[in-house]
Amino acid sequence: ALTGTFTSPAAEAAAKPTPSTAAGSIPKFAVAMPVPEVLRPVRRSWNTDYYRMTMRTVSTEIVPGHQTEVLTYDGSFPGPTIMAESGRRVVVEQTNALDTPVSVHLHGASVPTSSDGYPMNVIEPGGTRTYTYPNVQPNANLWMHDHAHMEEAEHVYRGMSSMVVLSDAAERKLGLPSGEYDVPLVIRDVDLDDNAGIVFTMDDSVNRTTILVNGKPWPYFTVEARKYRFRVLNSTNLRWLAPFLADASSYTMVGSDGGLLEAPYSTPAVVLSPGERADIVIDFSTYAPGTSVVLQNLAGTGDPAEIMRFDVVAAKTEDHSRVPAALRTLPALPTPTVQRSVVLTMDEDGRPNPMGYINGKTFDMNRIDTTVRFGDTEVWTVSNGNVTTPHNFHMHLVQYRVLERNGKPVDPSEAGLKDVVALLPGEEVKIQMTFDSYRGLYLYHCHLMDHSAMGMMAQMEIV
């Protein structure tokens, strides 16, 4: 069900290869893919899990035999996973041991504005701030990442990224693969210099050609011949991904940004723009032990072909996991009372310092772009007004439904709860959401992080 001509910023990379040095020498499928560590709470009360994290610079081995300096949540690249539970609060005390101000955003979560990681609510170097996440929403695939004013793109690119898996009892009853068979795949690209140092150049969609999964380049992952659930996160700043098994077998998508879909969806590839998540189940029992299968990008994306490789071994025990035909019921869509339109554009005339715009304006922290009445249900028509530059659209605070894309019903992969929606040049989507959780100031922006850092961001106040 992949329709339309698919282009991505990386299509240019194929046309104009500037082989990045250290990257050119990295062998594929030579390092094992690590699974990010699950962070342990420092304390648990009857309704709250308390965590402590220190943001710090560490050296890590990305290119075999080289050390790369990265910015981290709590010393790992990507950061540790937080396992959260609907109805239980998570409180994280964050200490900034970096030499740059940071702001921690929990992407996809509905949280009070004081804990939302507003760009100006920074933690100065040496400072500490406590964030409270009420987790009053159902299961979801959340993402902790930096949001410091105009610095978010570089900070996230250098490593400030951690997965937060929010689960609930209804989800657990389904019997999907769990425990060691439920694995995050944090996929990103990077440009590395001769010494394996991370090179950040704003809006560089061409040279970020090394693919990392859970922080390692083109890794392999040993899997048993059984079902696995993978929480796939496109944590790139600019690149589209379309994970596809090289033998063209289908996998089963069970969830997206805001948690489970209503029904599983069997597909050979899910297209993910930056910030989007796909929760997928791959059944490796169809492969003989000893077989390897490469996860690559769907041909035609223009992206570097390979992502990682799965090496199948015999199953240790019987696989009792299942993918039921019904996963959840999404709340009925209330009748909207407000319609708005949002147009995303970026300077495309080749001027030296291009800016990003929402409805013709670049981000201004002193301007409230949209005032929303608490409790209202709104429909926003969001379009990409550019002719060559892809964008996408993220809102803080809410999970929305995508009602239509270019006037047509959406693909099943976009039919669940979403907080990022892709917009290729000229595309238009209609999204619907209800503002009934918190009041205050929240952002909406393009999630091609270099674009938001260039001003393609605006704010709404819920009153």
Asked whether position 394 contacts ligand C2O by CB under 6 A, the answer is yes
> Residue 145: which of Cu ion, ligand C2O, none does it interact with, CB under 5 to 8 A by kind?
ligand C2O
Alpha helices, DSSP H, located in 44-85: none
Residue ranges in 93-132 that form contacts with ligand C2O under rule CB under 6 A: 105, 107
416 binds, among ligand C2O, Cu ion, none (CB under 5 to 8 A by kind): none
Q: Residue 446 binds what, of ligand C2O, Cu ion, none (CB under 5 to 8 Å, by partner type)?
A: Cu ion
Identity of the residue, 272 or 295, whose beta carbon is nearer to Cu ion in the bound complex: 272
Instruction: Write the DSSP string, 408-434.
Output: BPPPGGGSS-BSEEEE-TT-EEEEEEE
Q: Nearer Cβ to ligand C2O, position 280 or 449?
A: 449
By the rule CB under 6 A, 145 interacts with ligand C2O: yes
Taking the least distance from each CB to ligand C2O, the nearer of 13 and 164 is 164
Sheet holding 82-85, edge to edge: 82-85, 161-167, 140-146, 104-107
Stretch that binds ligand C2O, among 57-65, 203-211, 289-297, 440-448 (CB under 6 A): 440-448
User: Is 396 a residue that touches ligand C2O (CB under 6 A)?
Assistant: yes
418 binds ligand C2O, rule: CB under 6 A: no
| The token pair that represents 388 in the structure block | 């060559």
Instruction: Give the contacts of 332 (CB within 8 A, at least 6 positions apart).
Output: none
Closer CB to ligand C2O, 129 or 396, in the complex: 396
Q: CB of 231: closest distance to Cu ion in angstroms? A: 24
* Nearer Cβ to ligand C2O (227/451): 451
**CA 442/CA 447 separation, integer angstroms:** 15
Query: For residue 129, what are its two tokens?
Result: 């701030």
309 is in the binding site of which of ligand C2O, Cu ion, none (Cβ under 5 to 8 A by kind)? none
443 binds, among Cu ion, ligand C2O, none (CB under 5 to 8 A by kind): ligand C2O
- b/e map of 173-207 (b: 16 or more CB within 10 Å)? ebebbeeebbbbbbbbbbbbeeebbbebeebbbbb
- Which residue's structure tokens are 């909406």? 444
Task: Evaluate the CA torsion angle 284, 287, 293, 298 in order and state its sign.
Answer: negative
CB 236 within 8 A of CB 276: no
Which among 41-49, 71-79, 200-208, 442-450 is the span making contact with ligand C2O, rule CB under 6 A? 442-450
**Cβ-proximal residue to ligand C2O, closest one:** 107
Total of residues contacting ligand C2O (CB under 6 A): 10
Q: Alpha-carbon Rg of the chain, whole angstroms? A: 21
Is 147 near ligand C2O (CB under 6 A)?
Answer: yes
- How near is the Cβ of 157 to Cu ion at its closest, in Å? 15
Among 445, 455, 458, 462, interactor with ligand C2O by CB under 6 A: 445
CA distance 100 to 371: 32
Q: Considering the complex, state which of residue 343 and residue 403 has its C-beta at the smaller distance from Cu ion.
A: 343
Pairing, β 161-167 against β 82-85: parallel
CB of 106 to ligand C2O, least distance (A): 9
Those residues whose C-beta lies under 8 Å from the C-beta of residue 275, and which sit 6 or more positions away, are 107, 143, 234, 235, 392, 394, 419, 420, 447
Cβ–Cβ contacts within 10 Å for residue 1, how many?
A: 10
Q: In angstroms, what is the minimal distance from the CB of 255 to ligand C2O?
A: 17
Show contacts with ligand C2O in window 275-314 (CB under 6 A).
275
| Nearest approach, Cβ of residue 258 and ligand C2O (Å) | 13
CB 150, min distance to ligand C2O, A:
13
Which CB atom, from 217 or from 274, has the smaller least distance to ligand C2O? Answer: 274
Q: Which residue, 203 or 279, is less far from Cu ion as judged by CB?
A: 203
Beta strands in 208-302 (DSSP E): 210-213, 216-217, 220-224, 227-234, 243-245, 251-256, 259-267, 277-283, 292-297
Q: Is the Cβ–Cβ distance between 223 and 310 less than 8 Å?
A: yes
The interface region with ligand C2O, picked from 210-218, 235-243, 366-374, 439-447 by CB under 6 A, is 439-447
Closest to ligand C2O by CB, 107 or 227: 107
Q: 398 and 110 in contact (C-beta within 8 Å)? A: yes
Asked if residues 201 and 182 have their Cβ atoms less than 8 Å apart, the reply is no
Sign (positive or negative) of CA dihedral 410, 414, 416, 422: negative
- In whole angstroms, the minimum distance from the beta carbon of 444 to ligand C2O comes to 8
Closest approach of ligand C2O to the CB of residue 184, in Å: 16
Nearer residue to ligand C2O within complex by CB, 216 or 394: 394
Phi, psi angle pair for 281, to nearest 5°: -115, 125
Q: Contact positions toward Cu ion, by CB under 5 A? A: 391, 446, 448, 451
Give whichever of 13 and 148 is closer to ligand C2O, judged by the CB atom.
148
Q: Which residues bind ligand C2O (CB under 6 A)?
A: 105, 107, 145, 147, 275, 394, 396, 443, 445, 447
